[in-house]
A and B are shown apart, each in its own frame.
Chain A
Amino acid sequence: MTTESLRARVGRLTVRSIALAYLLAILVGPLAMVFWRTFETGFDAAWNALSTPETLNAFKLTLLIAAIAVPLNTVFGVICGLAIVRHDFPGKGFLNAFVDLPLALSPVVVGLSLFLLYGREGWFGGWLEEHDFQVLFALPSMVLATVFVSLPFVCRAVVPTLREIGDEQEQAASTLGASRWQTLWRITLPSIRWAVIYGVVLTTARCLGEYGAVAVVSGRVQGQTETATLRVEERYDSFDVQGAYAISLVLALIAILVLIAMTVLKPKETTA
């Protein structure tokens, strides 16, 4: 029996070491490297790399895009979740599957499809050009691309919670004289608020980190249509490794903040 317990202990230890080693090699190692390299030549050098007008503009642009895309996808995600859980309509299965498409589709393909739609030869391209409205190589297309890739998160967070709380509270509200609007604002939304916030955090993280789709449609004009992630690559290509690491570090810090927010929010799943 001692050999039994010994074997169990060895087994447990093996599983743990594999998991930890994997995490170290894939996640912690590279992150530590970024951290190390950023401050290799001192804090001032890192600060100088971050405070160039182009880099500042890149961060501003990234935040602006997120500030537009996140509210849009929050509203859409809640409506979509309500439609999937609470309503029956033709095409519901299609909607349910379609919401997940951005998770499966490569962002580069998303960027290319926007090109095909809004480019000079595209479906809307001619009309847009006539009306002097710049979509490609400008903010609108970058927002569109980001909205697309960060679409599913709020909806996917809200759906299981809506299923779990059921619709009895909403029925009770309606018998008590509440209109649909009142029921939505006073009963449904407060009941799913943690799921919505969790979805918003995930959406924000995805928006800030978006690279592929935005890379295709933005045109990467320095100081104009260059987001933080694009800026990292540009710095690296210009042999400014220090600058690339500094920007990466800020992005990684934001990601860690998001992770902390998620951990704080997540255990609020079930309360009797």
Chain B
Amino acid sequence: MSIVIRNVSKRFGDFVALDDVSLEVEGGSLTALLGPSGSGKSTLLRIIAGLEWPDAGEVELSGEDATALRPQKRNVGFVFQHYAAFKHRTVRDNVAFGLKVRRRPKAEIRERVDSLLQLVQLEAFGHRYPAQLSGGQRQRMALARALAPDPQVLLLDEPFGALDARVRAELREWLRRLHDEVHVTTIFVTHDQAEAMDVASQIAVMNHAHVEQVGSPTELYDTPQTEFVMRFVGEANRLGDRWVRPHELEVLDRPEAPSRR
């Protein structure tokens, strides 16, 4: 269930998407890949899923080399920003897809789909088509679909990016609860630092095709190792040539010798 990325590089024409990136993700953890657009975070996620091939480097899933495996052999669940719902299939059929292609017995499929629809609170919508669902409902359906074949890894590519703020907050909360219940190793990509801090237990901050720092939200906030992390994660102000967090500032009503440093 653990994921190891070793010295992975990827370019698209002249654009360098990933430059010698290494990252380890513990089994059962909930990790965020955080960075501005174009930092390579989605590409890294797609390489883990097998949807892109790295130019160099290795991907290990559960201790086994998966670099050359096709996506269908990797047993990962992938959730796309724009849902990638199968438009010509009902909600039930969408969720059942991964089980049907594995030729599971019908009774088992029915049972599993029922319990997943319950998990994502779409029991009443099984016979609708994706076009008849709201954005939030479609993304929950996509999550159920990704979870159906019991993947060892769940990958989410800006899963809440296309939703409005209220639904986004709701689904965030819901994803964290889901992870507490299901315990599947989860990586999600986001450019929203508040979302990453709120949901993830570990965050990898990416910038310009590199991983800048990996750590818990607290570590990133309290001990940023680069100026980029300082500025991107949490609030920061520039004082002279230093960056400081708002809570590190003390406003005095009369001049005094500095108390700290």
Which residues of chain A have a CB within 8 Å of any CB of chain B? 165, 168-169, 171-179, 182, 186-187, 190-191, 271-272
Known: A177-B102, A191-B87, A271-B87. A171 touches B97 (CB 8 A): no
The distance in angstroms between the C-alpha atoms of A186 and B103, with both chains bound, is 13
Shortest CB distance A135–B (Å): 42
Is B217 engaged at the interface, CB distance under 8 Å to the other chain?
Answer: no
Q: Which of A172, A187, A190 contacts B78 (CB 8 A)?
A: A172
- By DSSP majority rule, is chain B's interface helix, strand, loop, or mixed? loop
Q: Which A residues touch B101, using CB under 8 A?
A: 173, 176-179, 182, 186
- B66, CB-defined interface residue at 8 Å: no
**Contacts A171-B51, A175-B51, A176-B145 hold; do A190 and B88 have CB atoms under 8 A apart?**
yes
B88→A178 contact, CB < 8 A: no
The chain A residue sitting closest to B129, CB to CB, is A271
Please measure, in the bound complex, the distance between the C-alpha atom of A234 and the C-alpha atom of B84, giving whole angstroms: 57
Tell me whether A175 and B86 are in contact (CB under 8 A): no
Q: Report B's interface with A, CB cutoff 8 A.
A: 49-51, 70-72, 74-78, 80, 82, 84-88, 97-98, 101-102, 131, 142, 145-146, 148-149
- Which of chain A's residues have a CB closer than 8 A to the CB of B88? 190-191
In the bound assembly, the distance between CA atoms of A76 and B126 in angstroms comes to 37
| Chain A residues whose CB sits within 8 angstroms of the CB of B84 once the complex forms | 168-169, 171-172
Q: Which residues from chain A contact B72 at a C-beta distance below 8 Å? A: 174-179
Q: Nearest CB to that of A191 among chain B residues?
A: B88
Contact A186 to B97, CB < 8 A, known contacts A169-B87, A175-B51, A178-B72: yes
Question: Could you say which of A168, A169, A174 contacts B71, with CB atoms under 8 Å apart?
Answer: A174
Whether the pair A168, B97 counts as a contact (CB closer than 8 A) is no
Known contacts A169-B87, A176-B72, A178-B97; can you find 17 more A-B pairs with CB under 8 A? A168-B80, A168-B84, A172-B86, A173-B86, A174-B72, A175-B76, A175-B146, A176-B98, A176-B101, A176-B148, A176-B149, A177-B72, A179-B72, A182-B101, A186-B97, A187-B86, A271-B87
The distance from the CB of A48 to the nearest CB of chain B, in whole angstroms, is 50
Enumerate the 4 nearest inter-chain pairs by beta-carbon distance, A residue then B residue, closest first: A176-B98, A168-B84, A175-B78, A172-B84
Smallest beta-carbon distance B11→chain A, Å: 16
CA separation between A173 and B93, bound complex, in Å?
A: 12
Give complex CA distance A101, B71 in Å.
38
Contacts of B97 in A (CB 8 A): 173, 176, 178, 186
- Please name all residues of chain B whose beta carbon is closer than 8 Å to the beta carbon of A172 when the two chains form the complex: 78, 80, 84, 86, 142, 145
In the assembled complex, which residues on chain A have CB atoms less than 8 Å from the CB atom of B149?
176-177
CA distance A179 to B142 in the complex (A): 19
CB distance from A189 to the nearest CB of B (A): 10
B residues in contact with A272, CB < 8 Å:
131
The residue among A171, A176, A182, A191 with the most chain B CB atoms within 10 A of its own CB is A176
Among the interface residues A172, A178, A190, which one has the most CB atoms of the partner chain B within 10 A? A172
